[in-house]
Chains A and B, each alone.
Chain A
Amino acid sequence: MEVNLTINKKPITLNLKGNETLLEVLRDHLSLTGTKTACQETECGTCTVMINGKATLSCITLAANVQGEEITSIEGLAQGDVLHPVQQAFIEYGSVQCGFCIPGMIMSSVALLEKNPTPTQEEIEYALDGNICRCAGYPKIFEAVREAGKKMKNGPNTKI
């Protein structure tokens, strides 16, 4: 079947069988391997992307089912060489240990901060409750989210 998707603001037409998950399409058909695959059963959050601005698990999303929706993967956040404030903050605050969970963490964080750039600690934990960090690097991740929110609220030239 012909499937029309909009991924990172680009329209893409694919010929799919219908049983492909969005995760498989991103990684295997489009080589967008920033979205990670791990548990594949909704527990870990590494496969998180944004659909219409909401954090969504690509491992349980049928690609053909999200035609007409706005899909954003981790590759769609940076503007050329300029990282998204959340990506930049994760680097500056040393939030990355093994790094495997980070694309999913960042997607959930961006989805949160685009709605609420000044979240409380409780709101950050609630928004990221579907993303597991096996290195247990949560304090630095939360710190980066908080600081990135300040930058997103105050504009791109704000120092963090």
Chain B
Amino acid sequence: MSHAFLQTLAWLPRAGDDFRTRCREIKQSQDSAAVGQQLRTLATQALDANQLERLADLIKSLRGADRDLRPLTPFRLGLIGNGTLDFIEPALIATAARHGIALECVRTAYGQVVQEVLDPNSTLCRAAPDAVLVALDYRALPLRAAVGDAAAAAEAVAASVQQFEMIRGALQRNCNAISIFQSLATPPEPLFGSFDRVLPGTNRQLINETNRALVDLVARNSSSAVLLDVAAIAETVGTAEWFSPSEWNMAKLPFSDVMVPLYADHVARLLAALRGKTRRCLVLDLDNTMWGGIIGDDGVDGIRLAQGDAVGEAFLSIQQMALSLRARGIVLAVSSKNEDATARLPFRNHPEMLVREEHIAVFQANWKDKASNIAAIAETLNLGLESFVLLDDNPAERALVRSSLPQVGVPELPEDPALYPLALSAAGYFESIALSAEDRQRAAFYEGNARRVALKAEVTDMAAYLKSLEMEITFEPFDEVGRARISQLINKSNQFNLTTRRYTEADVAQAENDPACFTLQVRLSDNVGDNGMISVIICREASPDTWSIDTWLMSCRVLGRQVENMVLAEIARHAQRAGIRRLIGEYLPTERNVMVKDHYQKLGFTLRSEKPNGETEWELALPVHITPAPMVITRRGFAEDVADVAHAG
């Protein structure tokens, strides 16, 4: 994983081209109630230096106009340091909004660190900041000693720490502000090489010792000092990327400008933690998030979750991370599109599952949208929506939750599940400045008994959401190109499958050419990407005016998109052209297809018969009117459409 993942804040959605327009709209908006949330939404994107500056200007001008920025919480931060802070200040103001903070910065003249903290009448102290970011790096400290001189090295370290202690004491005394101290990153130019760590008086040894002493200082003064672990940030991206000698030489930028958005995010999450805004609950999706594969299709034996399997191990790491978070007080919940009983199978029967039902406070497995489910979880746990984080591999679910519940933290995830733990931790949702005894017990306090709770009204404007997806549905009869995928779906789909009839590739080829068969392969793409083939239909002529729907299956990935309605409309369209007056549908129950038990009823079919084993038969008279869903329809390969075009021409 390259440093670019962190540097570009890859867990945040990319900023749209409309960024400048949206800034202007907020500025002109008269709807003052919504401004704070709008700023937060705008800030919850990966912004570059210029965009951060734009957003900071907007926030400053709104504050200047006395606009109400709630629900953002005010915070006044003093900035002192030995480098140029001009680029850091706007980045902090904009980034703080991402973490729910309306930040005001108090700047001091370049290099005037000691004067500003010692004088109670200085600009800094009179501004009465809540905290002061002491942005000092190794260049600011008297870290000079002859190499090899242990006594001189110890003295240099002591002198540096004394300086930190002086700053902390003065800020506490003069303006009762918390000092935010930065651990020191080690520049990437060793004097000897590996020996630098051993020999007293080298940069590396002096910085190591200073950091150790600084940590002690912060631990001793937990009410007046907190640590910003810049050394860890620099080490994570690599110190050769972090430091930029030319930018320091040109303008005294303390670290490379491309790292400013990452640095600002770390500062902002610390400020949010100081204001008690640490998130408290991690909501986990299941299929392809907690295990590889789809439990409803693959079964307990088929999902990937085992040591010795690269894919399985990736998912075990995610579970391990969830358990570690739980151990430090983060509540775990589940939201999954599944049958409840199916979703619980791995928790009960898979020997390698690390997360168990007793670890889960609320367990929501159903076919409703995730925004409604997260809202229900929030209400049950009596936690605000801003306490929640959703981990979900499906980009469409993430987009839906982000747009309907903007307070919920929803990290973008890389393609490879092995990197999910990095993405989740890099996003910093659970940044804390202390660990209390209460924290350790919190998860247990919520009594993880995997409760299921009832949903209130759906929180989502489904019609607007579906429209925003810009879906395009493509209908084609079976053909040679689609044949392999068609037969794969026919043999693999278990959940959304009305009859679960399995056919070989040869059977599929035969259906292609059978004049008594009507077939459909259906593809769906949306603004997030191409979902590929998502539905397969086979109808057989049962009598001269009747088609019987032999096979109807669909990928659960596109549930809730009204694809079923569109498919029925398409079947009806072709049926009518063929002079068909009636469609017959069957439901053959299996252990896994409960979700489509009422499929035909929902589509307006009437029940013809029901057998004791649960098999049902349904019929629908044609013509029928079906309200179209908001999607563009493309048809390819139908003989009659060629005729249509010819006719129109």
Q: Do A and B come from one complex?
A: no
Interface residues of B (CB under 8 A from A): none
Residues in chain A within 8 A of chain B (CB atoms): none
